[in-house]
Structure 1
């Protein structure tokens, strides 16, 4: 009985709809908590330290959430992306090129808009990076809940786009917010990646090897001064996705089945709980649509992401440099581009890093702008996806009619 219940719970947590619902619930709890009479206890919780003196790790609970738990989430994303590139729809180079190029457009355009709108505003020398990232978990959850009737290639396009987008954002984090880079620790992290890849080639299966290597890789990147979530993506991309003759399941598929429920059911909701606690007082609301800092973020996310992703996609498809995803029309891609404006996870992280020296008021205003824009993008994207879903369903229904029936009506 216990085994069956646990199996059903695991299967339930694998669905993106449930993961998205948990993420939204955690974000709502954080917002209500921090704006309630018990808001001080929320701040006390996220500032509490969980240190490991032997490893010189002096981190708050909020730091553990964004540096540790998100690495697990990015590991799952890396596994999915590797599978799509190796055996999925993106194995065609011209199809793989589209989300990669679109992600670049979806990073450059918001950055340019944020720089133009926020020029001269304190903190915008690095704050222009706040609207460049798409939240993978949030965007896929919205797609799962409202886009179930559009072709499955939509999920592949959005996943690939968001992973590449976040990889670029992590690179920006490393460049903009790395005070010093330890080449020795970076070499150690690369050695861990090499050991992981070699073990995959030698068909080693024991977790007694892989788990320590993953932990050391994460720690090495942290000590090197690079955002350690990059370890999750790197190891996911180095995992084998094709099964050998006689193997029941490929390693990447097995790991995804094991780790994905942990990521969706615990890691991402806990991060949302720690990152979404923004005081929404009258001062924040009064400045949200008048302050150039918040306007740079709102316009960068909502307009920059949509224009950058869809515009570049349309251009490269028209020029013949890439193929449009199977079954998707330009209107479908526009709806997915709007979902690209959901900049929850990494945008909140960059806001904390970029505006830390400006003051808590600026950080809170930036976070509020990210949350409001992400919610607007979710609602607009959902409405567009539902509309497109009805169109696709009507076509499928028409195709299933017996020949001649449609002509007699």
Structure 2
């Protein structure tokens, strides 16, 4: 369990799972595995009927977003984003890390009506991957760099969540959504009960699980993407029980849910066509993730350092901003989900967008490894000579 709570191993496992999914899809067994992922599994007596792939992306991934939202709640109330002064610098850098990739994407793919709908895809940062690279290559980096990156990635998560909630809702049923929100309120109330005795505690926890599953079901049926239910539940939970639940779920998320999602999302057959025949969406994502992120985060981050008010965190050096920008280009988990949502109606375009995410994130992974290693070595030398 300790291994699955570390920063290095889950990132390696996630990368290996995606690579395995891409490999399996392009082996002779690939068509059978893809067909299996499209098999439907319904809940008897309910309208819920999802393919196995959607059970992973709409069901299991909601648990991941619950954990993200619990951490987000902590950071907004007690952590690195708990005041305007703390959040100002990473928020400005994060704005660059969203706006510049969108601009790069639209510059490349904006002329294609089918491709341009994927502009949200390169805006995400995979915090697990980014922190994993820091853990592997960043020994000696100042804590300010890690704190800056953590806050930056959390703000990126907020942006990704907003995009999922606002852009990809379809045929919304406000009545069912209201029931889902009502159940989230019930979940929040239950999380604030302090039961006396082990038996009562078990009953309360069981009720919370039932209410959470029901809330997820109503949000799913309302037309809002089901992962938003996980976000609402995580934000609504009382901080103590929420953090305990996140801690208990972390090994399952890192060791099961995320690798399974990465494998399922990467089940993409590589098109046997000339590069010129590939969709502009692939090239736009491939460039916007590593290049758009590093340019946007570095330039806006440098601006934030120049205008920062008194009392904010120490300035992050320009080369360290480059490292943070490169790490921000590792989109992966949320970018894969956004690619699936943006191109849900066109399987071929979706697959090419996923290849763009995998390729762009890999380029960012290599770039960040090189830059972070160089900066860590520099800081170790400075520390040794002082």
TM-score by length of 2: 0.89
CA separation in 1, counterparts of 2:144 and 2:221? 39
Distance of aligned partners of 1:274 and 1:324 in 2 relative to their CA distance in 1, 3 Å threshold: farther
Distance of aligned partners of 1:281 and 1:81 in 2 relative to their CA distance in 1, 3 Å threshold: same
Asked if 1:385 corresponds to 2:372, the answer is yes
Question: Which one of the candidate residues 333, 338, 361 is aligned to 2:321?
Answer: 333
Asked if 1:276 corresponds to 2:274, the answer is no
Contact 2:80 2:151 in 1 (8 A): no
1:402 corresponds in structure 2 to none
Question: Which one of the candidate residues 362, 365, 370 is aligned to 2:357?
Answer: 370
| 3-state SS in 1 of match to 2:41 | strand
| 3-state SS in 1 of match to 2:237 | coil
| 3-state SS in 1 of match to 2:267 | coil
Contact 1:185 1:223 in 2 (8 A): yes
Asked if 1:221 corresponds to 2:219, the answer is yes
Contact 2:124 2:157 in 1 (8 A): yes
Deviation string, structure 1 residues 116-153 (Cα, Å, up to 9, x no partner):
22122142341222222222332232222222432344
Q: Which deviates more from structure 2 when the two are superposed, residues 390-399 or residues 316-325? A: 316-325
CA separation in 2, counterparts of 1:363 and 1:341? 20
Contact 2:48 2:221 in 1 (8 A): no
1:213-252 residue pairs with structure 2 within 5 A? 213-241=211-239, 250-252=240-242
| 3-state SS in 1 of match to 2:224 | coil
Distance of aligned partners of 1:15 and 1:323 in 2 relative to their CA distance in 1, 3 Å threshold: farther
Deviation of 1:41 (Å)? 1.9
Distance of aligned partners of 1:67 and 1:326 in 2 relative to their CA distance in 1, 3 Å threshold: farther
CA separation in 2, counterparts of 1:152 and 1:55? 50
Distance of aligned partners of 1:158 and 1:111 in 2 relative to their CA distance in 1, 3 Å threshold: same
Distance of aligned partners of 1:327 and 1:261 in 2 relative to their CA distance in 1, 3 Å threshold: farther
Deviation of 1:157 (Å)? 3.2
| 3-state SS in 2 of match to 1:279 | coil
TM-score by length of 1: 0.84
Distance of aligned partners of 1:302 and 1:161 in 2 relative to their CA distance in 1, 3 Å threshold: same
1:164 corresponds in structure 2 to 155
Distance of aligned partners of 1:195 and 1:98 in 2 relative to their CA distance in 1, 3 Å threshold: farther
Deviation of 1:284 (Å)? 6.5
Question: Which one of the candidate residues 120, 136, 144 is aligned to 1:129?
Answer: 120
Deviation string, structure 1 residues 182-222 (Cα, Å, up to 9, x no partner):
21222223223322333344445531232122212222221
Asked if 1:309 corresponds to 2:309, the answer is no
Asked if 1:261 corresponds to 2:259, the answer is no
Report how many residues are paired: 379
CA separation in 2, counterparts of 1:177 and 1:257? 30
Distance of aligned partners of 1:238 and 1:157 in 2 relative to their CA distance in 1, 3 Å threshold: farther
Q: Which deviates more from structure 2 when the two are superposed, residues 94-103 or residues 24-33? A: 94-103
Distance of aligned partners of 1:283 and 1:263 in 2 relative to their CA distance in 1, 3 Å threshold: same
Deviation of 1:24 (Å)? 1.2
| 3-state SS in 2 of match to 1:59 | strand
| 3-state SS in 2 of match to 1:181 | coil
Question: Which one of the candidate residues 52, 63, 72 is aligned to 1:81?
Answer: 72
